[in-house]
């Protein structure tokens, strides 16, 4: 059904009839889109580089028409969100309830409907041969259609699931393990709420599966202070060598393997590299746990044997065999906690922290006070700062709860009580005792040992960087060269004795070093020889050895010892002698009865 055109439509027609074709007024570009999946409070760098989507100009060739054909159709429905123009009311707008019938060869309006919101879903495409005005309206309607944001972060993670599911008994076993420990799940979840939003943001920005946001649950239970027996640290569990490969600084003042932002960046870079290497996320995860070299060798071994090369086909250590099933179990819990009878605490879908710049060195305790944040919470957000001070040249920013960031900036600007740092760095000019170093920096020996974690009976080697108290007269902060590269080296505090020995006919530097438990380099240095030098029979060799241990023998005044000696000489066996008598070298020990299980 057509309706008569409004008055301004007739005015436009009259203008056309007079031969004065008036071009359409320019259409204002739409405002930049906001991320509907997140809070209106984005992270500082979330929107960097995002520009409004540029639309090609719409050119309409206006031809003179007769008055008999001058009739503009109008469709009931909401108006377009284009900027107001004299012709906006005459532009057909697709109805949200009853889309207009498609003309022959035209894309139906229903096919232009906006799909369910997804961070990586491509925008709908429009046919090039469709009406340009209709295409522009459809695109504008698509962009401004209301999209419901996820009610919490778990829903957002579910939308980005992309890893292939893994089935089997190992997965079922891990599901039961987690489901039977609700307290453990609650502790992990409460710990993760500080970091999980940032991890999800990074994964979506890189177009990576959001299941990987659950990996720290497996690695460290989202504890950035976790340290494994293999010296892996942080919530992503980097060992020292791999951390250095991915530019994670590890020095006497900070450990970036524990840093929330730096370790997340490094972990996702590593996972992306492993995925490019193996072309399979399950194999990439196995390599993250076991090492890419081990996984590559396992694949090559299976290829030579004519076996499969999938994750489930490889022979791997038990920990790696259970690694992906653990992640799958956590994924299943997040996907459908009710089916596994798990109470999953909700995590809000907005940033927990924001990054704040540090203009100068500052004590950790003072920073927490200025931000009005409990000290434990400040350390949880800044776990790489494991010393009582943060050097701005090495750590130029800190993380603070969202609402406390502005409080910190305001209080720091108003702070007038002299230096914000009561600690600084000092480099030892030579190898010295801890007591001597303490006198030089004006500290007690106990305090210097405690703050730098120096064990007893150790010397401070030359070039070591130590944390010392900062005098009030010192106004300069620690330079970046020291803050980024400071290391501490210790040497055992042992008084060595000088020993001169004669070389035998077959003696070499290596044999003497092995016999006296020293190194070839040490013997060469002590005797001013090359490490490849040969020795002559009877040649004097100088050694510096630790004091010989005192030999413990039976004392004459000990009746039990005398009885042991007499019994050993007479060959008698008594309980007193058997307790301390060593067994003969060639005599086998008596067999013990095997313990039988009940």
pLDDT at 481: 93
Over residues 331-339, mean pLDDT:
96
pLDDT at 494: 74
Lowest-confidence region among 74-83, 214-223, 525-534: 74-83
pLDDT at 555: 54
Query: Between 209 and 26, where is the model more confident?
Result: 209
Q: Is residue 323 predicted with pLDDT exceeding 60?
A: yes
H/E stretch holding 502: strand 497-502
Phi and psi dihedrals of 356, rounded to 5? -125, 130
520-527 vs 509-516: helix axis angle to the nearest 10? Answer: 110
H/E stretch holding 295: helix 292-304
Q: Is residue 138 predicted with pLDDT exceeding 70?
A: no
pLDDT at 584: 46
* Residue 18 pLDDT class (50, 70, 90 cuts): very low
pLDDT at 495: 72
Over residues 360-376, mean pLDDT:
96
CA separation for the pair 163, 328 (Å, rounded): 9
Lowest-confidence region among 94-98, 451-455, 461-465, 565-569: 94-98
Query: Between 478 and 48, where is the model more confident?
Result: 478
pLDDT at 548: 73
pLDDT at 104: 41
Over residues 211-229, mean pLDDT:
96
How many residues are there in the chain?
Answer: 598
Over residues 317-335, mean pLDDT:
97
* Residue 417 pLDDT class (50, 70, 90 cuts): confident
Q: Is residue 146 predicted with pLDDT exceeding 60?
A: no
What percent of the chain is predicted at pLDDT more than 90? 58
Over residues 500-509, mean pLDDT:
91
pLDDT at 29: 47
pLDDT at 558: 54
**Does residue 219 have an active-site annotation?**
yes
Over residues 320-339, mean pLDDT:
97
Mean of the per-residue pLDDT values for the chain?
77
Spatial CB neighbours of 363, under 8 Å, sequence gap ≥ 6: 388, 389, 390, 420, 421, 422, 423
Catalytic residue among 219, 348, 369, 525: 219
Tally Cβ neighbours within 10 Å of residue 558: 10
* Residue 76 pLDDT class (50, 70, 90 cuts): very low
pLDDT at 49: 40
Q: Is residue 595 predicted with pLDDT exceeding 50?
A: no
What percent of the chain is predicted at pLDDT more than 70? 67
Lowest-confidence region among 301-305, 471-475, 554-558: 554-558
Query: Between 273 and 19, where is the model more confident?
Result: 273
Burial of 566 (0-12, 13-18, 19+ CB in 10 A): exposed
CA separation for the pair 508, 511 (Å, rounded): 5
Q: Is residue 65 predicted with pLDDT exceeding 90?
A: no
pLDDT at 128: 37
- How confident is the model over 85-97, as pLDDT tens digits? 333 333 343 443 3
* Residue 496 pLDDT class (50, 70, 90 cuts): confident
Q: Is residue 300 predicted with pLDDT exceeding 60?
A: yes
Global pTM value: 0.62
pLDDT at 475: 87
3-class secondary-structure state, position 465 = strand
Tally Cβ neighbours within 10 Å of residue 524: 16
pLDDT at 551: 64
- How confident is the model over 521-566, as pLDDT tens digits? 889 989 989 988 999 999 999 998 887 776 655 554 555 544 444 4
Measured torsion, CA atoms of residues 257, 258, 260, 262, in degrees rounded to the nearest 10: -20
Q: Is residue 587 predicted with pLDDT exceeding 60?
A: no
- List helix spans (H) across 519-570: 520-527, 559-570
- Tokens representing 256 are 């970036």
Domains, the chain: 25-59+75-149 (no CATH), 153-335 (1.10.530.10), 362-412 (no CATH), 422-492 (no CATH), 497-543 (3.10.350.10)
pLDDT at 305: 96
Q: Is residue 130 predicted with pLDDT exceeding 50?
A: no
User: What is the distance between the terminal CA atoms of the chain, rounded to a whole angstrom?
Assistant: 91
pLDDT at 60: 39
Over residues 267-283, mean pLDDT:
98
């Amino acid at each position: 059904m057509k309706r008569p055109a409004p008055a301004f439509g007739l005015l436009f027609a009259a203008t056309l009839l007079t031969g004065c074709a008036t071009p359409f007024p320019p259409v204002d570009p739409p405002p930049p889109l906001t991320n509907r999946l997140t809070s209106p409070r984005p992270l500082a760098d979330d929107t960097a580089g995002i520009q409004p989507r540029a639309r090609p100009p719409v050119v309409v060739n206006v031809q003179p028409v007769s008055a008999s054909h001058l009739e503009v159709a109008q469709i009931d429905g909401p108006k377009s969100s284009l900027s107001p123009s004299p012709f906006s009311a005459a532009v057909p707008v697709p109805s949200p309830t009853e889309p207009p019938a498609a003309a022959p060869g035209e894309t139906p309006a229903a096919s232009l409907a906006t799909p369910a919101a997804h961070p990586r879903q491509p925008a709908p495409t429009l046919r090039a041969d469709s009406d340009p005005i209709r295409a522009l309206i459809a695109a504008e309607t698509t962009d401004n259609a209301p999209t419901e944001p996820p009610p919490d972060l778990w829903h957002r993670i579910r939308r980005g699931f992309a890893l292939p599911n893994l089935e089997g008994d190992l997965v079922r076993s891990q599901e039961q393990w987690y489901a039977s420990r609700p307290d453990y799940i609650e502790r992990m979840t409460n710990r993760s709420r500080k970091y999980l939003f940032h991890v999800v943001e990074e994964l979506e920005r890189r177009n990576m599966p959001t299941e990987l946001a659950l990996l720290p649950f497996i690695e460290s239970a989202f504890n950035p202070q976790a340290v494994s027996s293999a010296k892996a640290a942080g919530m992503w569990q980097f060992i020292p060598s791999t951390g250095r490969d991915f530019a994670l600084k590890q020095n006497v003042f900070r450990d970036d393997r524990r840093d929330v932002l730096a370790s997340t960046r490094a972990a996702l870079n590593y996972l992306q590299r492993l995925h490019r290497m193996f072309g399979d996320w399950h194999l990439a995860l196995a390599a993250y746990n076991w090492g890419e070299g081990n996984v590559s060798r396992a694949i090559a071994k299976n290829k030579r044997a004519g076996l499969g090369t999938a994750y489930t086909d490889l022979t791997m250590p038990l920990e790696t065999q259970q690694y992906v099933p653990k992640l799958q179990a956590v994924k299943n819990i997040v996907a459908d906690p009710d089916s596994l009878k798990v109470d999953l605490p909700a995590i809000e879908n907005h940033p927990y922290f924001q990054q704040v710049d540090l203009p100068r060195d500052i004590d950790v305790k003072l920073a927490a006070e200025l931000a009005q944040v409990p000290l434990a919470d400040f350390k949880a957000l800044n776990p790489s700062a494991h010393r009582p001070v943060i050097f701005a040249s090495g750590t130029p920013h800190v993380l603070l709860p969202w609402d406390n960031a502005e409080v910190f900036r305001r209080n720091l600007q108003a702070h007038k009580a002299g230096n914000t740092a009561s600690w600084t760095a000092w480099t030892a000019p030579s190898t010295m005792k801890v007591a001597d170093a303490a006198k030089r920096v004006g500290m007690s020996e106990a305090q210097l040992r405690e703050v730098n974690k120096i064990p007893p009976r150790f010397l401070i080697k030359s070039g070591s960087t130590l944390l010392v108290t900062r005098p009030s007269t010192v106004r300069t902060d620690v330079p970046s060269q020291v803050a980024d590269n400071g290391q501490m080296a210790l040497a055992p505090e042992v008084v060595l004795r000088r020993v001169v020995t004669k070389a035998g006919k077959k003696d070499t530097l290596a044999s003497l070093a092995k016999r006296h438990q020293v190194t070839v380099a040490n013997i060469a240095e002590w005797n001013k020889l090359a490490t490849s030098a040969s020795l002559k029979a009877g040649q004097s060799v100088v050694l510096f050895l630790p004091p010989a241990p005192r030999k413990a023998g039976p004392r004459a005044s000990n009746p039990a010892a005398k009885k042991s000696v007499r019994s050993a000489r007479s060959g008698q066996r008594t309980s007193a002698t058997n307790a301390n008598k060593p067994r003969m070298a060639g005599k086998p020990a008596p067999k013990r009865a095997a313990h039988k299980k009940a």
